[in-house]
Amino acid sequence: MTDHLKTALVPVTGSALDKVTVGLACDLVRSNKGTVHVVYVIEVSRQLPLDAEVPFEATRGERILVQMERVAKAHKCKVEGEILQARSLGAAVVNEAFLRRADIVVLGTPYEEQFGAPTIGDIVPYLLKYSPCRVVIYRDTQPGRESN
């Protein structure tokens, strides 16, 4: 699977899964001397202009990107970070995958339940449907279960 992977796109949110997904993306592209593009997406509500100033979120995003750059460097991987503003996380990731000609998107998702059953939320189906490239979903372990 990693034969031709040179460009990975990893959306980050500030969760503990970010380190895992950035590390995984680095592992996937390293043998091809590839690059991991880490994006922090600020979702801007429709009541505001898309380019509205959101200093708290921008500062948070910068902090997260710096942390992810450290993770990538520890994995001996080239990394680029960017903050995006968009109406929707899914659409922003798909658009960025097109623009960067990404070979793969690596997304982390927490274990969540809805009505007592596991759920994958909205972003996973959106990416699986619209992504122009491969998608790897890393779902966190179920609470109370030990990971190996």
CATH code at 107? 3.40.50.620
Task: Please list the residues that pair with 139 across neighbouring strands.
Answer: 109
At 65-78, the pLDDT tens digits run 999 999 999 999 99
- DSSP secondary structure, 4-59, as one string: T--EEEEEE-SSTHHHHHHHHHHHHHGGGT-EEEEEEEEEPPTTS-TT---HHHHH
Reduce the DSSP state of residue 114 to 3 states and report it: strand
pLDDT computed for residue 104 by the predictor:
97
User: What is the number of structural domains in the chain?
Assistant: 1
Does residue 94 belong to any structural domain of this protein?
Answer: no
Does residue 85 belong to any structural domain of this protein?
Answer: yes
Does residue 1 belong to any structural domain of this protein?
Answer: no
Does residue 15 belong to any structural domain of this protein?
Answer: yes
pTM over 0.75: yes
Range of the domain at 73: 7-89+99-117+129-139
Does residue 43 belong to any structural domain of this protein?
Answer: yes
Does residue 21 belong to any structural domain of this protein?
Answer: yes
Does residue 110 belong to any structural domain of this protein?
Answer: yes
Within 8 A by CB and 6+ apart from 53, the residues are none
Per-residue pLDDT at 143 exceeds 70:
no
Encoded amino acid at 91, one letter: A
